[in-house]
Every structure is written in C-alpha cells, then in structure tokens.
Structure 1
Amino acid sequence: MRRLTLLAQRYKQAYVIQGALLQLSELASTISDMREFYPAIHKMVSELLHAENFYVVFYNNATEQYSPQYFSDEKDQQLIAQVPSSAFSTGLTGYVARSGKALMCDSEQFEQLVLNGHIQAQGSPCAHWLGIPLCRGEQVIGVMAIQSYNAEHLYTEADLALFSNIGGHTITALDRVKSRELLEDTVRQRTQQLQSINQSLQKEIKERTSAEQLQVALYRISELTASSSDMSSFYRSVHQVLSGLMHADNCYIALLNSDKTKLTFPFYIDQYSPPARERPLSRGFTEYVIRCADVKLINADTAAKLVASGEICRGISDLASAVRYSTSWLGAPLMLDKQVIGVIALQSYEKSYCYSEAELNILRFVSQHIAVAIHRKQTTEQQKRHQEELERKVFESTRELRQTNLFLRLQVEERKKAEQKLFYEANHDALTGLANRQMFLQQLKQQFALSKRQSQLKIALLFIDLDRFKLINDTLGHHIGDAFLVEVSKRLQTTVREHDMVARLGGDEFVVLLTSLADEVDAEEVAERIIEMIRQPFLLQGQQVHSGASVGIAHFSHEHSKAEALLRDADAAMYQAKSMGRNRFVIFNETMREQMLQALSTEQVMMQALEQQQFTAVYEPVLCGQARNLMGYELHAQWQHPQLGTQYNFCQHAAQVGILPQIEQLLLQQACRQLMLSDTSAGLLTVRLSVQHLQQNDLYEALKKRLAEVTEIHRLCLAFSESDLLQSGNNTVQHNLQQLKQLGVRLALHNFAAGMAPLSLLLQQQFDFVKLDAAFCRQLVRSEQKRQLLQMLQSLALSYKFRLLADGVDNADLLNLLLAEGCCFMQGKYVAELLSAQELSTTPSIVLQHLA
C-alpha cells in the first residue's frame, strides 16, 4: 500500500508537471510581448504553488551584473525601484546564481547563511524562500524565486521539483516569445521603411513626369515654328500644347503694335466672350503684366486690391467686351531681347478652380519659348512672302526656273518629313523577362559547387554583348531598343536546351550557363548558333535592325576558386572578341589572365603616383569673346611620370582604379592655394569634380572643409558633368548642391548637350555656368538644328540667370558664330592662341562684372 500510495503521488506530481509544461508551451505560442509574458508565468505558478511573491532576475556572467525582469512582492514592491541591481549579488539570488543549484530556505537556514558570510540580509524577512537557477545549456543566466511571509505556507520537496521543472522550460519559452517579439518589431520597422521609400519614389516619379511633359512641350513648340502652315494654325497648336500642361479652356495672346500704343489679339478663345478686337492700351490685366514685365497670378482677392490701389480699372474690362469677370487669371509677358512684345493669358470663370504657383512657374518658363517661336514664325512668314513674290516673278520670266523651284520645294518637304520621322524614332522607349543577375549568380554558385564535388560534370559560361546596340538605341529610340532586347532574349532561348540558363545582366549584356556538357566543343557550337541567330535581321515595329554578338566562353576548371571568377573570365574573353572585330566568339585562356594581371599592375602604378603626388594642374584660359578679355582658368590634371613623361588622358583609368576623387582633391587644393596667394588678376578658377564628392559623406565633408578655408570663394567654380548628375538622380545630390551654393561657391554644369541635353537640370536654377560639350559646339557651324537648340538655351540663360560657356572653340568661324548668337564665354585651342602667355600674365582687367 505504501508503494502504491507513493506511486500514485508520483503520477499525480508528473501529471501536474505535465500540465504546467503544456500551459507554459501554450503561453510561449500565444504571447508576443514580454510585458505580458512574465505576469502570465506568475499567474500560472500561483495556480500550482503559493506564489503571491514572485520575481525573475537575469545574471550576466561576463559583467557579473544582475537585472530584474519581473518583481511582484506584497511587502517590498515599492522599494524595488530604489534598490540597485548589484544588491541581488549579496542575497539569496546571488547565492543561487553562483552555486548553480536550487535552494529551499527557511528562516533558520537564512540566519545560518548570514552568519557564515555567504549572504547578506536584504529586504523584508520571509518565512520560507524557494529559488532555482535559470540555465541556458551549462551557463546560469538568471534566477527565478518565490517566497512566503506566512509560516503556515511552507514549501516542500515536491514544490521544489515542480518549480524546477517549470524553471527548466521557462528559458525555452522565453526565447520563443523574444524571437516572436523581435520578428514582429522587425516586420513593423521594415513596413515603415517600405512605405517611406514608396512615398519618395512616387514623389520622384511625379516630378520626373512633370519635367518630361514640360520638355516635350518645349520641343513641340520649337517644332511648330517649322511645321505650322500659318500663324493661325501655329497659335492653335500652341494652345493645344498649353492644354496638355494646365487648364487652358480660356486663353488669348495679345501683341503690341510697332509703336506700342495698341493691342492686337491674333488668338482668342473664351467661353463667355466673342473674339477681342484691336484696342488702345488701357488699365486692364494685360497692361498690368506689360508694365510689370513679369508673370502675374490674379485671383478675386488680388483683383480687388489692384482695383483699390488704382493699378487696374476693371469697369472698362480687360478686353473691352467681356461681361463676366474671371475668378482666376494667369498672364505672362512675351519678351524678346528684354523687351515685352505681348502677353499670353489664361483665365477661369469657375469659383472652384484657381491657378497655382506651379502653373505660374510653368507659364513663366513656356512664355519665353513662345515669344521666341512667335518671332521666328513671323520672320519665317515674312521671308516666305518675299520668296513667294520672287517665285511669282521668276515664274513669269521662265517656266524652266519655275519647275526647278517646285522640285526644290518638294525636296525641302521630303527633308522635313525625314527629320520628323527621325525625331519621332529617337523619342520612343519601353523589357525582357529573363533571369536577373542575382538569380544567375545563385544558379552559377550551385553549379560551381556541384562541379567541385563531381569532377565528371562539365559546365561552360557564355558572356554575350550585342554589337551596335547603343547605335540602335540612340537612333531609333529606347522603345525600339527595348523591343530589340526582348526579341534577342527570345532568340537566345531557342539556341539552348531546357535545363540551360539564359540571363540578362544589364544593358545589352547577356549570359548563358551551359550545364552537363558532353564535350567542351558543345559550348562552341552553341556560341556559333547564337552569333548566327543574332546576325539575322530584326523586324521591330516596321523597322529592320541589324546587329551582331560578341561572345566570350569560359570553361569550368578546378583552378577557379569561386563562381565569380568564372564570370570574370567569360567577361574578359568577350572583350577580347570585341577587340578582334566583333561578331565572333573567343575562349578564355591563360594569356588573357596575364593581360588582366598587367592591368592590375597599371593600377598599382597609378596608386604609387598618387602617393608621390605626381599629379599637377594645367591652367586652360577662358575668354570673354565680346571684350576679348580673360575671364579665368579651368584646371586640368597632368601626370608627370618619371619614365613615361607627361600624361594627360588618364582620368578614365583613374576612375576605374578609384583614385579620381583624390586627384581632384589635389587640383582643388592647388586652386584654393592659388586664390589665397594671387590677387583678382587670376580671375575665376574652375575645377571639375566627379559626382562622388556629392554622394559620399567623407568626400563631401572634406570638400566643405576645404571651401571654408577660402576667403574669396566667389572666384572658385566647381563643375559637375551632365551624365554624372543624371545617373545619380537622388535627393542627396540636389541637397548638397544647394548647400554648396549657399556657401558662395559658383557651380557649373559640365559637358551639357553631350547626350540628352536634359532641361530639367537647368530648371533647378543652381548653376551659374552651363558649359556646352565641345563636340556639340563644333557642329554648330554646319547644323541648323544645333543652332536652334543653342538659341533656346540662350533664352533659358536669360530667364534663369546662368551663363553659357562654349568648349572646343578651335577656329575663328566658330568664335564669330557664338558671338553672333550671344554666347560670349568660351575656351579651346583658338582661345589659347588669342591669349598669349604674355597677355595672360599681364592682363589687368577681368570680366568678373559679368558674373555678378
């Protein structure tokens, strides 16, 4: 009977322990907040034991520090906040943590431990205390304890066993709850980050869309000058362009007559008024804009104030025939050579709609181009009338000359149609669905690891670069280029097996991973099929496109230490194929690896040159062509190599090595030293910098520190290239440019019109100079289209307060053409010849007044 009773007690105890552990597991599965977990543990223990007084303390073995996690005590609850965490080390808690064993202690045992010096008395004395160590593996990480102040409630060995089992599984449950809490917190933070990134992207997309729409509108206005048959159709087309940018249901154009005493209305659309007639100047909205020579936004409140101040007289009406007043009116002056020639105005009669500052800025910008276009169109029509008169006389004189003239006119029309077609093809864009770089590298690493274990498996990597893709993309437009890439991807997939992998790394670069090859020759056969397939003409939206492929082949060998090495070898073989004439394949060999090592030695030479400061500055003069005076210098870097002599064209290699910013810092240091040592006769010093100085915090802080040391900072100009700013395209770059502008340094946009000539960069109004690309300037003499773009840029320069600087001025014809177009700042070989060394050193007058 005693054994049965003992066995029944053990089964009961095991049942209780099992229930407690199941309840503990359920808590770990349902609770994700640590603030709820400890009270739940306390409640569970209280249901099984006398545990009104319960606490959990963590212990750090490395620092020997104690940190209470949960404390519930009927007597010492208010004192725990004032007790330092180190107090636990001298009490029963520290005793259990050091011994690593459970302790059940009554008042007599407590006094004995105090007398023996094992512990110190802490807090209110209890009748019975039960504590167990919390262990992770063999290491004690904390103590969990319960205590009783009532002598009638004493703990037993069974209570100790039950409490020990609960404590042994508490750490596992605690880790699960902490993991879930950390995971949910991580998910919340990541969600907030994604929301913030999405908002930034939406804002950037909206800004870029608006800039693109504005740029398309300006190109369309410039095109209308040549494409419109007469002034009426020209005005209607301009109105259609404005309607695409803003609310323009009511619009009119008013022009001043030759003696500026009357207004004519060549274009007028209004939903409540008939077409306006010619009238003398009065005190209307139109005349108010003419007097101010600036764009004006007039709402109902603004109109009332202007009437009260006497600026306008609305009783006469702005157009002398309007019966209903507009609720919102927007007008901009049409200016030519800083003289107002007329006004373009928009108005709304709806009380729910008012024009905004954004539309005001758009109309200010567009009005400049409309004024230029109107002047050109009027000049063109006048020339056309003279030409028609001459044609009539010639027709009367001889039939043969009339037929010749008709033939020439047909040729002009055909040329216009061809130019319009090229323009259309060059402004369309839109991609393939192959594996991306990340997926390809993952598959490559898996195949690489498999081939390492199974040497009989043969794999090969084909690196493919499409020939003449950039020409296709630039000539036919991005839309045709994207369609071309999609068709190339389809053809590549037809040349390989199902288990082989085709991927696009970016741009026009593709890779093919061939696995389970029977022989290495199979890779060459696949390469030949790819080359032949790409050689076939492409028919893309009615356009026939011819291309080719340069293929680099790299076979797997045990000498490859990692998967990326195989991709690097295939890439090197592809560049070898391009250098040998393209439209062919090359297999990677040891010779190519030696060439790569030689390139690495070149990198070491340049690093050594930077350490020895072999890079110095060369000063190229900048001329003000009108006064034939020296405006300043642009600094270029030269490399004084001990054996090779002076080197100039090394910036691309320096950028690849990663030391170009350091070289630019040396040039900037020399320029700042020159500004502090010389007087104002040195003029403006320009230093070209890469966009890395605006993207990387360490380079940007070093730049600001250098500029802070310059006293005459207005004589220093920092130039950034168009392509670098377009590729960066982030808010950090724009913010840093604004800060540099506030410091007082001048900013220049370098190599503008070398590519897309994006007007969005000019609209930021951050640049003091816009330096035109040398190749663009050399084409001005023979390209009418380039001259039209120059004239448009000159108009923008007047509106947005920046200066055009032409590069590559190598002859007198180009210099005279630039002066005739109003571009007076220039540099080049011919400029250097005009300014001899003696004149450069003795010229006292500097054209700094043009820079103010």
Structure 2
Amino acid sequence: MKGSTELNKRQRHTDDKLRRLTFLAKRYKQAYLIQNALLRLSELASTISDMREFYPAIHNMVSDLLHAENFYVVFYDSATEQYTPQYFSDQKDQLIIDQVPSSAFSSGLTGYVARSGKPLLCDTEQFATLVRDGHIEAHGSPSAHWLGIPLCRGNQVIGVMAIQSYNEKHRYTESDLAVCSSIGGHTLTALDRVKSRELLEDTVRQRTRQLQKINSSLQKEIKERTNAEQLQVALYRISELTASSSDMNSFYRAVHQVLSGLMPAENCYIALLNSDRTKLTFPFFLDQYSPPPRERPLSKGFTEYVIRCGDARLINNDTAAALVEAGELRRSVAEPINNARYSTSWLGTPLLIEQQVIGVIALQSYEQSYKYSETELSILRFVSQHIAVAIQRKLATEQQKRQQEELERKVFESTRELRQTNLFLRLQVEERKKAEQKLFYEANHDALTGLANRQMFLQQLKQQFALSKRQSQLNMALLFIDLDRFKLINDNLGHHVGDAFLIEVSKRLLSTVREHDVVARLGGDEFVVLLTSLMQTTDAEDVAERIIDKVRLPFFLQGQQVTSGASIGIAQFQSEHTNAEALLRDADAAMYQAKSMGRNRFVIFNETMREQMLQALSIEQIIQQALEKQQFTAVFEPVLCGQARNLMGYELHTRWQHPQLGTQYDFSQHITDAGLLPKIEQLMLQQACHHLAVSDSNIGLLTVTLSTAHLQQADLYDQLKQQLSGLEPKHRLCLAFTEREMLQADNAIMTPLRQLKQLGIRLALHNFAADAAPMGLLLQQLFEFVKLDATFCRQLPRSEHKRQLLQMLQSLAVSYKFRVLADGVDNADLLNLLLAEGCCFMQGKYVAELLSAQALASSPSVVFQQLA
C-alpha cells in the first residue's frame, strides 16, 4: 500500500513536470513566431516604399502565422469619428466594400474595439450577445469567428486590424490574439517608416518634375528670344535689300537666303499675278524635284487657294485631302507644275499691296520627317509684307524705266528729221529759255531742295489769300512744319548728311500733296505747305497725318540710318484774317504748340494759343507760386481691360487748381522751361505712394509718369529711391518714361532702370510710336507695359501700315513678356478694332465713360490681381 502511494506521487510529479515543459515549449514557440514576425515586419518597413505593396505584405505575413484569408485594416479619426478602410481582403464582402459607409464600421465590431481600446475574440454566440445588448449592429456577412486588435499611437486609438473566419473549423485562440497584438503594436512603427519613405520619394519625384518643368520653360524662353532676335535681324536685312539690290533676281536670291536662316527653305518659289490677273508667273523658283515653271493660267492649286483666301495657309497631307474633298483643290497635277512627287507640308502667304493680292511666296517640304508649324507661318507672314512692298517698288521702278525708254524712242524717231533743220534755231531759243528759267528758278526756289523759297511762297500765299477773300467757298489751309532732331543729325553726322536729309524730306513732302498745292522751304528745317481748294476742313488734318507718317520712316543717307519726326501747325483760312502774313503767323504758333506737346504731331490753331504765348512768362511765375502753395493735385485716369471690361488700374495726371485761373492741365512746357518739372513730379509721386498705402487692392496698378532727369541726376535719383523705400507693396506702382526722352538719353540710365525693376517697381514706356517706334528699347526687357501714342491709335482705322506695326508689337509682346496699352480710345469702333488686333489694355475718353465713377467704386474684380 505504501509502495502504491509512493508510485502515485512520482507519477503526479512527472505529469506536473511534463505540463510545465509543454507550457514552456508553447511559450517559446509563440515567442519564436512573434520574433520572426517582427523581423519580417522590420524587413518590410526597410524594403517597401509604396503603401499599396505594404498592406498585402502584412496580410501575407499574418496568413503565414494564422488562418487569415479574411483580413482588413481600418483607420479611425477620433476628431471626426470617421472610419477609413486602408486595406480590405474578404471572401464574401470584397465587392461591396466601396459602398460600405463609415457608420457601418462605427456600429460594428470594428467600432467596438476602437471605442474600448482592447483586443477582442468574438464567436457567433458572443456576437449575438453584443448585438442583443445594443453594443454593436450586424453588418455584412456573418463570420464564424472574429479577431480584432486596436492600433494605438501612444494612448490614442487610430485604427483596428482584424481577421475573421467563415468556417467553424478555423477558430482563433488567445495565443493567436497575443500574436496579433504583438504584430499590431509594431505595425504602426513600420507603417510610419513606409509612409515617410513614400513621402520622401514622392517629394523627390515632385521636385524632379518641378526642376524638369523649370528647365523646359527656360529652354523654351531662350528659344523664343533667339527666334525673335533672328526675326528682327531678318526684317532689317530685307529692308536693306529693298534699298540696295540692283535687280529683282538678286533681290529674290538674297531674300531666299534670309528665309533659309529662319526655317528650312530648300524648296521655295514666288508666284506673281499678271496685269489682267488671269495667269501666274514665277520670277523665282527653287525646287528639289521640279524645273523652273513657265507662265501658266490660274487653276485650283495651293497657290490659287491662298490668292482666293487672301491669307496665309499651312497645308499638310490631311489638310490637302480635306480641301480636295471640299472642291477647293485639285491634286491631279502637283503644285505648282508637274512634279515627280507631292509635297508633304506646304506653307504659303499672299503678297499684299493696299489690301490687294499681287502674288504668293511659298515654301514646301517633301520629307515625312519634317512639317512646317504655325510659328513658321507667322514668320513668313511678317516677311511677306516687306517682300510685297519691295516687289511693288522695284516693279514700278522697272516699269517706269521701260516706259520712259519707250517714250524717248518714239520722240526720237518722230523728231529725227526736224532735229537737223531746226537745230541751230532751237539751240538759241533753248539757251535763252534756260538762262531765263535759271534766273527765275534761282530767285524763287531753294538752292538745296528745289522747293519754292520764302519769296515765292509769300507771293503764292498772297495770291491765294486774295482769291479766297473774293470767293469764300474756296477753302484754304496752311501747314507749318518743323523737323525733329535736325540739329542733332546736322551736328553729329555732318552738314553733308544734313543736306541729304533735307533733300529727302522735300521729296517725301511732295509725295503727300496734290499737284496744285504749294510746298516751300522757309529756311533751316522749317517747311510750309499751302493747301487750296479743300473739300472739307478735315482734309488738312489727313495731309498732316500723311506727312508725319512719311517723315517718321527711317532715312538711309550715305550709309547712315537716321530717324526724325515732324511737328505741324495748321491754320485754317478764316474771314477774320486781315492779311496773308497773319495766316502764316497763326500756323507758326500752332507748330510751337505741337512741339511743346511732345512733337511728332499736329495742332490746329485757335485764338487761345496766341494769348498763351504772350502770357508764358507770367504763367511761369504763377507756377512757381502754385508749387510753393501745393496747388497741384493728382487726377486718376482709369485703364481698362477691354476683353473683360474690368479695371486694370489708373494713370496719375497732374491737375493745377489755381484760385483765379481755374483748373489747368496743359502747362508742362512752362514747367519744363522753368526747371520745375522734377519737383512737381516728386509731389505727384508722393501723393501716389500715399494713396497706395491707405487704399485696398481694388485700386489696381497706379502709373506715374516721370522725366528721365530722375535717372540721370544723382541727387534726384537718391530722392526717388528714398521715396520708394517705404512703399509696400511696391509692385502696385508703375513708373513711366516717354519714348522721346528715352531716345534722347544715353545708355547710363539703363542701370537705374534695372535697379528700380529689382526693387519690384513696374516700368512702362509711354507715347510709343509717337516719333520713331524704336524696337531696340523693347528688346531690353525692362518695360512691362508699352503704351501706344494716342495719335497713333486714332490713325489705326485708316492706316494699314500702323495696323501692321501693331500686329508686330503684339507678337513681340508675347516673346518679350510685355503688355501693349492703347491710349486715345475715344469711340467704340476704335475699342473694337483694338480688341480684334489682340490689344486688350486701353484708356481714353470712351474708356472713362464705360467705367463710371460708381462702377469703379463698387467693382469687386480687378485685373491687377491677375497680373501680380
């Protein structure tokens, strides 16, 4: 009995030891599994950089440890109480997960674990109990067993990781729960590492794309600037060829060389219409596969299509097929004659003279690898304008020469027999007539230009004045012309160039008037034009505009290119004029008024001008007193974005409110003569800075015009910088300088301009095209705004040349990043014309009427916000 008891004790001891060993083995196995899982988790965090790969890898790792065919991870935001599925893999509910709302997770087992913050093992019975007690609601397909653990960052639950089984044979244990809890605690750390790496790599990729985009933009800008410079050089070269080429063939070859520098031009031709516009001739033809064609009648080719359209066209294979189908083209015969093959890309633009097509210049490519672009089409369109003018000029010259030769031949043949019999008598008569004509000519004509001199002009003026007194219906006007920059040309380039300049001016003046009008040179650079038998009073203004346009064109004199302008005073004949000298005096007074307003313009005389001249000295004294009493105030003229009918900003003008004289605007010449202009400009700039400082952003851009003295004189420039130092924001202020002063100033002003631009101040070039329209100033890329002269804008409706210049400016504006602003918009027709030409910024009387004071005060939209 005793031995049996001892045996039982040993047996129990052995069983206890075996249970402890079994328990330790399970603990070691579980520790091993957890450690292995953590090592795999660390490896995943180190190797995976994409969250889309991380969650499937976690799922695979859990599946290797447990039965986890159905696995999901949901994040929880305690601030918004929203649940967001990050990964979801389920046998039954996989297809409907996108339609599951956040509330389904909140009221289910997921929300229960998130709220409790504790792991959960749940079978069907426990699930039913929780539903019955109201802790959860049933959603989705019912599972046989469910295991979920909270994902915590510190003490805050940020999500839930769960696995579930739909099979009763696969149930989870407390050991499985411990393994999942250990994995879940380190999953967040691995998740943060993967997200950080993903964020870093995404940041690197974004920065790389930004750098690539910036580099692409810089390359594009460099290419655009290079193309613009090449185009400018090409246009200057064509202008030189127009004047220097001895014959048309050499001119065509030289133009082709210029085109070859801008674009591929191996296949190029020029086609011209004959006099009755029924046939095409080809004065220049260069092609890889075709010999030079002969004259041929019009058909339905590419060339005729451009002639019918009257505009440039780019035709590729697809375009050609569509035009053939529409009946516009026939390609049974290759263009322009029988070729060995069709062109794959064709570029053509009409040659226009006074809006009439005289021919076509075309380029074509036979290679599939190269096709012309819209950029090359624009270049060819610019070039064609100059080519058309040159062709017309040279053809007219050659035709005139042929006609003269033919006339001389006929005269010679008809008078050959009479020449011998009447030779002696004719020589005597001609010698006497020449002597008389020479004496008369020398006494009444200018020796340099051949125009009527002062003596002859006064005689003609008195005769016409007497005739107009007797016949009041005969309208008469007198134009007094003074040339700009003549003294500068004469002093810098020499008197021989100055004489050549005056001769060329006289020719241009004669080309602007009728045969019975009188053109005379009074002396120096002063000319007069007497216009008689005028139909309307505005005819004199039209002649003045033509003279200004003619004189504004460049002069090529003895290898030198010079530019000038004309200030014109117009005096209309009135019954109050007592003598001819009074009419000349009035025209002279109007001319000085035109010069004081900025030159390169005309002014019609009125009675106030003479009074202003007599009061000039006293007005200067009054201006000095007005400056001391600060009687100068700022007036704001609105600037419109015509496309959107919105306000861009204002231009500041100076108004003088005198107690006795009243409101004065036109006193700039008196201020300049008195040397007070910089002080008044400083006063206006001070008012502008104050207005920007106290107003909100709805004021937009505020423009103040300054003289270049502020850039040339060190003390004035220091005062200017001091005024601008405290201004914020600086980009709402724009400083404007006139074209005339910029041309007269030296290159030293470029450094102060760049310093102002670096400070953030915007710069503008005002009164552009008032004198010479210098493109070189625009290529400096200093000015963000270029305001066209008001007179230039008013002449756009009736001047094709000025519209072409505007189109060229619009193209340069795109390449050199500036905006074109039109002044003098006084009617709706001019506004619509400017909008059609692509110029959307403008100001003038009509603009001020559109933007009433009430509308400006309440406008919530300001274009300046888009420019900033």
Q: TM-score, normalised by structure 1?
A: 0.41
Q: Which has the larger radius of gyration?
A: 2
